Amino acid sequence: MFKIKGWSLIRFYTILVYIWMFAPIAVVILLSFNPQQFGTFPMEGFSFKWYGDLFHNTTIIMAFKNSMILGSLTAILTTAIGIPAAMAFIRYEFPGKNTLNTLLLAPIMIPEVVLGVSLLLFLRWLQQPKSFLLLLIGHCVLTLPYVLLVVQARLVGIKRSYEEASLTLGAGPFQTFREVTLPLLTPAVMAGMLFSFSISFDDVTATLFWATAQSQTVPVKIFAMLRNNISPEINALGAVMIVLTVSIPLLAGYLARRFSRRLE
Amino acid sequence: MNNSIVQLRNVVKRFDDVLAVEKMDLDIEEGTLVTLLGPSGCGKTTILRMIAGLEDCSEGDIYIKGKRVNDVPVHKRNLGMIFQDYALFPHKTIYDNVAFGLKYRDVSKAEIKKRVTRALETVRLPGVEFRKPAQLSGGQQQRIALARAIVIEPDVLLMDEPLSALDENLREEMRQEVDNLQSELGITTIFVTHDQREALSMSDNIIVMKDGLKQQEGGPEEVYDAPVNHFVADFLGHCNFYACRILGRENGLLKVEVADGKTLYSEHDEGWDVGKELELLVRAQKIEVVARGDTIPDTEVNIFDGIVKSRMYMGGEAWYFVELQDGTVVHAISISREFPFRDKDAVTLHIPPRHCRLIPKET
C-alpha cells in the first residue's frame, strides 16, 4: 500500500500553497489567449486577438507610455538623489544623521493611502493643480527608500581603503568617486534603478490619488476599466504587466549578481 | 634645519574623548626606513594616516619637505601608501591600477606606459598588465600595490602593516624584497608594524610606541639591546625581569641584589645611587646554558645552578625554563645546533654581566 509519510504531506501542502498563490496569475495569462468574450474553461481556441485590441486601444497605449516615462524618470531621479544621499550617510559624519536617515526611509512604513492624501493636501496648500510633476515627485518619495537601502548596503561593503588609495595616488575626491566608488557601486545602482522602476510601474494606491486624466498609468487604467466592464483585454494587459513586473526585478537581481562576481 | 623630510611637532590626535596620539615629535631623515612599532591601538597607524592626510591632527603640525601640510589635502601630498589589504582597485586591470596615480600627474600616455612597465619590472612581475587583481596571489597583489605606490615617485612611502596578511614564508620573502627595493630606490619609508622581527630586520630607525606615546627611538640594535623601559624590552623579545636593588660597585661592575637575595653583576651603570630600586632584565637569548660541572671560561660571576623544568623545541632554537634552587624560573633560549638538555637535567646558567640591563622599576 502507498504509505503517507510526514514529508509527503508537507510536500503536498506546499504545492497547494503555490497553486493558491499562482493559479489566479496563470488563469489571467491563459485567458488572455482565449478568443471568447467571456472566459470559460476549457478554452475554445487560441488567439492573440485581445493583444491586438490592446495595441489599438489608444488610451491604454497612452497609459502605457505614461507608465514607462514615469517609471524611467523616477528611476533616474531617485538614483541621482539616492547615490549622493547614501554616500553622505555611509561615508560622512554630520549632526542629525540618524534622524535624517530614518526620515528618508519612512515612506516604506507609512501607508500609501496616507502618503497619497497628504501629498495631495500639501499641493492644495500650495495652491497648485495636480500634474505629471506631482506624480513624479510622489513616485520618487515612494521609491527613494528602496534605492537608498540598496546603495547603502553595497557602499558599506566597499572598503574605505580603495577610496583612500585613490586619494593618496593623487585623485581628488570627485575623481575618486567617479573612478573608484561609482564603478564599484554599479551593481547596486542598476538594481536600485530597476527596483525603483518596477515599484513606480505597478503602484496603484498612491497613484490613484495623484493621477490626472492625462497622466493615467497602466495600473490605474486597469482599475478604471474594471469598474466599467470586464473586458478580456484586461487579461491581456494583465499578462503584459505580470511579465514586465516579474522580469524586471529578476533581471535586477541577476545583473547585481553578475556584476559583483565580475568585480571579485 | 636638518635633512628631515617628515617632521611632526607636538602632534596630538583625539577621537572624541579618546587620546590616540599624545604629543608626538618625530623627525624622519631622507632616504631612511623608519618603523613605527607597537601593539594594536598604540597610535602607530593613526600617525601614518595623519602624515598621509587621511586623518586630521587635533593639535600640532606636520611638515613634509619643510612645508607645513596640515591643510594640504591627501591627493596633493605626493605620498605613496601601501595598505594592509593592498586596496588594488578590483574593477581595473593591473595596468590601470599601476597607471592610476600617473593619470593625475602631467605625464604623457607613452611615458605612462614606459613607467608602468618599469615599475612592474622593479617588483619582478612583468607581463601581468592585463590581468585583474583577483587573478593574482596575495604576494603578487602586494607587489602590485608597491608598484602602484612607487611609480608616482612619492616623496615618502607609507606602509601600513603591509605584510601582515601574508603567510609566514611569503612574509619573509616580501620583507627582504621591500628592504632591497627601499635601499635600491632610496625612497624614504615609514613602516607600521606590530611584528618586532619585521621592525628589527628592516629598519634604520625604530620608534616603539605604547598608548599613543613614543617609548623609545633608535636603531634596531639600540632598541633591542638597550631598551629604556619594561615595555620596550618585553615587546621586542623574550626577557627575564627581576626587581633589584643596587648594592655597590666591585671590579668596575655594578653589584645588584635581586629580590630573593641573589647577587648579580652588571656592566650597565648609569651612576645610580646605592640602594636605588630598579628592574634587572636579561634577554633569554643572552643566557648561556651548560651541563652542571662543565666549566664556563673566563668568569666567576653571575653563575647559577638549576634544574630544567620544561623545554620547548622551536626548530632553530631551544627554549629552556630553568628553575634555580630558590625557585626562581629563568627563561633561556639557546641556539646551539643540538638540543642537549631534557626535563630535570641539572644545568648551570651563566648570565654575562654585559647583557644585564637595568631599567626603571615598573610602577
Measured between CB atoms, does B15 come within 8 Å of chain A? no
Residue of A nearest to B76 (CA): A170
Q: What is the ipTM of this complex?
A: 0.84
pLDDT in tens, A42-75: 767 777 878 888 888 888 888 888 899 999 999 9
pLDDT in tens, A177-225: 999 999 999 888 888 898 899 889 888 888 888 888 788 888 888 888 8
Same-domain check for residues B258 and B192 = no
Q: Which of B233, B261, B291 is the last residue of a domain?
A: B233
Same-domain check for residues B244 and B220 = no
Binary contact (B75, A167; C-beta < 8 A): yes
Q: At B32, is the secondary structure helix, strand, or coil?
A: coil
What are phi and psi for residue B225, nearest 5 degrees? -85, -25
The pTM of the whole model exceeds 0.90: no
Residue ranges of chain B with pLDDT lower than 50?
1
| Per-residue pLDDT at B312 | 86
**Minimal Cα–Cα distance from A108 to chain B, Å?**
33
Residue of A nearest to B82 (CA): A165
Beta-strand ranges (E) seen in chain B are 4-15, 18-29, 33-37, 59-64, 67-68, 79-82, 156-160, 188-193, 205-210, 213-218, 239-250, 253-258, 263-266, 277-283, 288-291, 303-313, 318-324, 329-334, 346-350, 357-360
Same-domain check for residues B287 and B328 = yes
| Closest Cβ–Cβ partner in B80, B85, B105 for A159 | B85
Residue of A nearest to B97 (CA): A166
Domain span at residue B184 reads 4-233
Measured between CB atoms, does A122 come within 8 Å of chain B? no
The structural domains of chain A, ordered by start, are 57-263 (1.10.3720.10)
Q: Which of B233, B264, B290 is the last residue of a domain?
A: B233
| Per-residue pLDDT at A3 | 61
Task: From chain B, pick out residues whose CB is under 8 angstroms from the CB of A264.
Answer: 90, 134
Same-domain check for residues B19 and B77 = yes
| Per-residue pLDDT at A4 | 61
| Per-residue pLDDT at B275 | 83
Measured between CB atoms, does B272 come within 8 Å of chain A? no
Same-domain check for residues B325 and B354 = yes
Q: What is the CATH number of the domain that holds B160?
A: 3.40.50.300
Binary contact (A167, B134; C-beta < 8 A): no
| Closest Cβ–Cβ partner in B89, B152, B158 for A162 | B89
Non-local CB neighbours of B135 within 8 Å, separated by 6+ positions:
none
Non-local CB neighbours of B207 within 8 Å, separated by 6+ positions:
B26, B34, B35, B36, B37, B214, B216, B217
Query: What is the mean pLDDT of the segment spanning A89-96?
Result: 88
Same-domain check for residues B133 and B269 = no
Same-domain check for residues B244 and B219 = no
Task: From chain A, pick out residues whose CB is under 8 angstroms from the CB of B100.
Answer: 166, 169, 171, 179
Beta-strand ranges (E) seen in chain A are none
pLDDT in tens, B155-165: 999 999 888 87
Same-domain check for residues B228 and B286 = no
Q: Which of B202, B233, B264 is the last residue of a domain?
A: B233
Q: Count of domains in chain B? A: 2
Measured between CB atoms, does B69 come within 8 Å of chain A? no
| Per-residue pLDDT at B185 | 87
Same-domain check for residues B77 and B203 = yes
Cell of A46: 487560441
Q: What is the CATH number of the domain that holds B325?
A: 2.40.50.140
Task: From chain A, pick out residues whose CB is under 8 angstroms from the CB of B73.
Answer: 167, 172
**Minimal Cα–Cα distance from B13 to chain A, Å?**
18
Contact B115, B151 (CB under 8 A): yes
Binary contact (B75, A164; C-beta < 8 A): no
Q: Is the model's pLDDT at A108 over the cut of 90?
A: no
| Per-residue pLDDT at A263 | 55
Q: Vertex B129, ends B124 and B131: CA angle to 5°?
A: 110
Measured between CB atoms, does A69 come within 8 Å of chain B? no
**Minimal Cα–Cα distance from A254 to chain B, Å?**
19
User: If you search the block for the grid coordinates 510536500, which residue do you land on?
Assistant: A11
| Per-residue pLDDT at B159 | 93
Measured between CB atoms, does A178 come within 8 Å of chain B? no
**Minimal Cα–Cα distance from A168 to chain B, Å?**
5
Same-domain check for residues B220 and B299 = no
Mean pLDDT estimate for chain B: 88
Query: What is the mean pLDDT of the segment spanning A241-256?
Result: 80
**Minimal Cα–Cα distance from B85 to chain A, Å?**
8
Same-domain check for residues B61 and B74 = yes
Same-domain check for residues B38 and B158 = yes
Binary contact (A165, B89; C-beta < 8 A): yes
pLDDT in tens, B256-278: 988 777 888 898 888 888 888 89
| Per-residue pLDDT at B2 | 61
